[in-house]
Structure 1
Amino acid sequence: MPLPPRVLVLNGPNLNLLGLREPPLYGSDTLADVEALCRESAARHGLEVDFLQSNHEGALIDAVHAARAGAAGIVVNAGAYTHTSIALRDALATADSPVVEVHLPHIHQREEYRHRSYVAEVADAMIAGAGIHRYALALTHLAHLLEKSAA
């Protein structure tokens, strides 16, 4: 029996502070809540998930490079690196699997400098403004993309 496809859920800077950092904007759910939601959603779609959160750009880039060897897809919330990191964008561009970008708040309803997403240039989809449930939506969409590519 083949192993279920593995998906990398990658979270960038300050997402370790979910539930504590600006709850009116980001909500009261924690990163542990996000991981539990992702595990449930992934299981419904026959996927396994690996998680990484880092406040360090290089660690995120290294994780994307490592995912090339075995991840069926990537869900990424790059945090502030969304708007600043061409290096992370370039790493994601080399992914041999689908990439779905997620954001807790709707980035186009925030400050002007947050409207630009370098990640969006290489992502297959972006889901924003749905709180932590956008991770489940991202995994559902990723499962759809994987099924479509297998057909």
Structure 2
Amino acid sequence: MKILVMNGPNLNLLGVREPAIYGVKTLPDIEAMLRRRAKELGTQIDFFQSNHEGELVERLHRAMLEDVDGVVFNAAAYTHTSVALLDAIKATKLKVVEVHLSNVHAREEFRHRSLIAPACVGQIAGFGPLSYLLALEALVSPSFMNSQGAPAQPQSPSKK
């Protein structure tokens, strides 16, 4: 299995930028944590960060060509503004889990709406660096994903 972890604008400043909101761990700290877990899971993992929307779109396009199985994606501020990222996720049909370090629903109102969420298989927010780990675990879990890459649907209890 091959997983891509993508990070959007300003996440290169983790550990320095608003540590009361985003914590003191750096992006390399989060990458190291994910590398350790991916190795335990026997999963290949790659990382990409950009402050530029077009580069994020292009990386999603390349991921499709590289047969990436899933994407852990913190689009940061682009979460709330980027139709281009929404369209790229839809076009590539990649299994994307949207992640956020902070609980975006407990913050400013403009952060409550994700433009990319409708194209993602799930969203994990508010658990700090653990949000990334939970997303990785979800993507590699056979019980989470059905064959089409959508979240597994709970079965209705049979009526007697």
Match in the other structure for 2:77:
80
Deviations 1:4-38 (CA, angstroms, capped at 9, x unpaired): x2111000000000000000000000000110011
Q: How does 1:35-114 map to 2 (within 5 A)?
A: 35-69=31-65, 70-114=67-111
Partner of residue 128 from structure 1, selected from 106, 125, 130: 125
Deviation larger for 96-105 or 10-19: 96-105
Measured after TM superposition, the shift of residue 46 of structure 1 is 1.8
Q: In the aligned structure 1, how far is the partner of 2:27 from the partner of 2:138?
A: 21
SS of 2:147's equivalent? helix
Q: What amino acid maps onto 2:92 in structure 1?
A: A
Unaligned runs of 5+ in 1: none
Partner of residue 149 from structure 1, selected from 133, 147, 150: 147
Q: In the aligned structure 2, how far is the partner of 1:41 from the partner of 1:141?
A: 13
Which of structures 1 and 2 has the bigger CA Rg? 2
Deviation larger for 54-63 or 88-97: 88-97
Normalised by the size of structure 1, how large is the TM-score?
0.92
* TM-align CA RMSD: 1.5
Normalised by the size of structure 2, how large is the TM-score?
0.87
Measured after TM superposition, the shift of residue 110 of structure 1 is 0.5
Partner of residue 32 from structure 1, selected from 14, 28, 31: 28
Percent identity over paired residues: 51
Give the direction of change, closer, same or farther, for the CA distance of 1:105–1:48 in structure 2 (3 Å limit): same
Partner of residue 21 from structure 1, selected from 17, 38, 41: 17
Measured after TM superposition, the shift of residue 147 of structure 1 is 6.7
Q: In the aligned structure 2, how far is the partner of 1:57 from the partner of 1:147?
A: 28
Q: What amino acid maps onto 1:37 in structure 2?
A: M
Deviations 1:47-86 (CA, angstroms, capped at 9, x unpaired): 1111100000000000000011121111100000000000
Measured after TM superposition, the shift of residue 144 of structure 1 is 1.2
Q: In the aligned structure 2, how far is the partner of 1:44 from the partner of 1:111?
A: 37
